[in-house]
């Protein structure tokens, strides 16, 4: 038994020395079963299917969010229109108030004139009846010293009477004219106040619609964030499942390698090569150079386009933009513009950019895309030329305006959180006609 043990020990030593000089032979690696590997692959397929389903849900949510964004933009332009209409109604009401005040001043003056005329007639009548005055009726006639003096006194009395009656007639006509003006001014004031009330009610209505659209958009954005979070979590689970299968397959491969009696050095070199390949970063794809923007347009259209193009990169600010340049945006009462802080930005909204661009050639547009659509001649889209304005929405609900610059491209101030940019013409929801102002 001792001799057998010695021989076995010698043989074992030879085998160990052949496998790795100076070291003990390594134990065989783990060998996962086929059922373990297949179960891991099933998990990978399940996770991948769920990731695909969440990706589809995200695509649908993104489409809904884009539609809600268009609705928010439409409501924002409706608020622009209501704001312009309310300012117009307020100005008309103030003018009517001023006219009513002026009519009251004329009425007061006419009333004083009537009072003065009546007072003079009363004094004249009193003097005539008292017969103690030089113009006192019969006593003035009886005191006459000659026929000529009598005739002179009669003429004087007639002149005084006729003068007072004329004054009374003028005062009466002034009073009637005053009453007519006062009535007209009151009617104008009532109409102006009614229109102001209607404009104020319309603004409240569109403000409420704006708030509802923003709330719907925010709700959809929150749901999209939840979907994105769920997708990220499932992608992590998929990565873990893929790593598990890869690890099981690696164990199987290591076992196969060991079973085939591959040399330890070759296995280490292969592992090192695989690790090095895994640690190398993926080659980065260089960003494409920015597309050059060249515009070819005649005369005033070129000047308008150049004025707009000079504002590329300017922030979008709802309510921003004047004939002289970008301006601070305004609050929309807690809506989408406030969410992006437009009231703290200097920039343009879509119609404000058009106001500024066309002001450079002396064309002053209203700050509302719905009115800008009718500011010039309509031409079919097949005949649109650089400098024409393109509109999006429908005839009763235009919510966006851009400027065509040629080459299938347009310049626009798109939406809150973005910047003035040049993009290809979008054909979805575009109005069938361009508006040509120049």
Residues annotated as catalytic (active site), given as ranges: 350, 400, 412
Alpha-carbon distance of 143 to 164, in angstroms, equals: 24
DSSP conformation letters of 75-91: HHHHHHHHHHHHHHHHH
**Token digits for 145?**
């010293």
DSSP H or E stretch at residue 370: helix 369-372
Q: What are phi and psi of 149, to 5 degrees?
A: -65, -35
CA separation, residue 368 to residues 74, 189, 274, 415 (Å): 11, 27, 63, 15
Buried b (16+ CB within 10 A) or exposed e, 188-216: bbeebeebbeebeebbeebbebbbebbeb
Question: Does residue 319 come out as left (phi exceeding 0), alpha (psi in the -120 to 50 range) or beta?
Answer: left
How large is the greatest C-alpha to C-alpha distance in the chain, in angstroms? 191
What residues have CB less than 8 Å from 3, skipping those under 6 apart? none
C-alpha distances out from residue 7 to 2, 11, 13, 156, 183, Å: 9, 6, 10, 171, 134
Spatial distance between the Cα atoms of 386 and 339, rounded to a whole number of angstroms: 34
Q: How far is CA 431 from CA 290, 379, 409, in A?
A: 29, 11, 16
Measured CA to CA, the distance from residue 249 to residue 384 in angstroms comes to 62
Q: Is-contact 330 342, C-beta < 8 A?
A: yes
Element (H, E) at 288: none
- The DSSP output letter for 379 is E
Helix (H) or strand (E) holding 299: helix 299-309
Rounded CA-CA distance 343/175 in Å is 54
State the sign of the Cα–Cα–Cα–Cα dihedral 101, 106, 110, 113.
Answer: positive
Cβ proximity of 103 and 177 under 8 Å:
no
């Amino acid at each position: 038994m001792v001799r057998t043990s010695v021989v076995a020990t010698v043989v074992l030593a030879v085998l160990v020395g052949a496998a790795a000089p100076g070291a003990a032979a390594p134990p065989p690696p783990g060998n996962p079963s086929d059922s373990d590997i297949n179960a891991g692959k099933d998990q990978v397929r399940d996770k991948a299917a769920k990731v695909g389903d969440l990706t589809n849900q995200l695509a649908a949510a993104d489409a809904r969010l884009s539609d809600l964004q268009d609705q928010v933009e439409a409501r924002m332009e409706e608020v622009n229109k209501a704001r312009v209409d309310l300012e117009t109604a307020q100005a008309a009401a103030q003018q009517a108030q001023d006219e009513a005040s002026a009519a009251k001043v004329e009425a007061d003056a006419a009333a004083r004139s009537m009072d003065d005329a009546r007072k003079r007639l009363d004094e004249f009548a009193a003097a005539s009846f008292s017969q103690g005055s030089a113009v006192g009726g019969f006593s003035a006639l009886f005191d006459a010293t000659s026929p000529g003096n009598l005739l002179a006194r009669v003429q004087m009395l007639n002149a005084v009477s006729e003068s007072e009656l004329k004054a009374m007639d003028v005062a009466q006509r002034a009073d009637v004219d005053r009453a007519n003006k006062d009535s007209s001014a009151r009617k104008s004031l009532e109409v102006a106040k009614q229109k102001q009330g209607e404009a104020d009610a319309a603004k409240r209505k569109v403000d409420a619609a704006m708030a509802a659209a923003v709330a719907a958009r925010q709700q959809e954005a929150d749901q999209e964030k939840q979907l994105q979070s769920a997708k990220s979590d499932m992608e992590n689970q998929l990565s873990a499942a893929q790593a598990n299968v890869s690890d099981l397959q690696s164990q199987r491969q290591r076992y196969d390698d060991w079973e085939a009696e591959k040399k330890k050095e070759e296995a280490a070199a292969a592992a090192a090569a695989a690790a090095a390949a895994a640690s190398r970063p993926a080659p980065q794809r260089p960003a494409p150079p920015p597309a050059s923007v060249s515009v070819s347009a005649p005369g005033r259209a070129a000047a308008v386009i150049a004025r707009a193009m000079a504002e590329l990169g300017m922030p979008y600010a709802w309510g921003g933009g004047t004939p002289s340049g970008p301006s601070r945006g305004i609050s929309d009462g807690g809506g989408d513009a406030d969410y992006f802080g437009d009231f703290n930005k200097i920039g343009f909204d879509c119609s404000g950019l058009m106001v500024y661009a066309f002001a450079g050639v002396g064309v002053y547009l209203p700050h509302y895309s719905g009115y800008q659509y009718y500011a010039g001649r309509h031409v079919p889209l097949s005949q649109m030329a650089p400098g024409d304005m393109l509109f999006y929405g429908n005839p009763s609900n235009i919510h966006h305006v851009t400027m065509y610059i040629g080459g299938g491209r347009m310049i626009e101030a798109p939406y809150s959180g973005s910047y003035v940019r040049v993009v290809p013409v979008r054909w979805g929801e575009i109005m069938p006609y361009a508006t040509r102002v120049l």
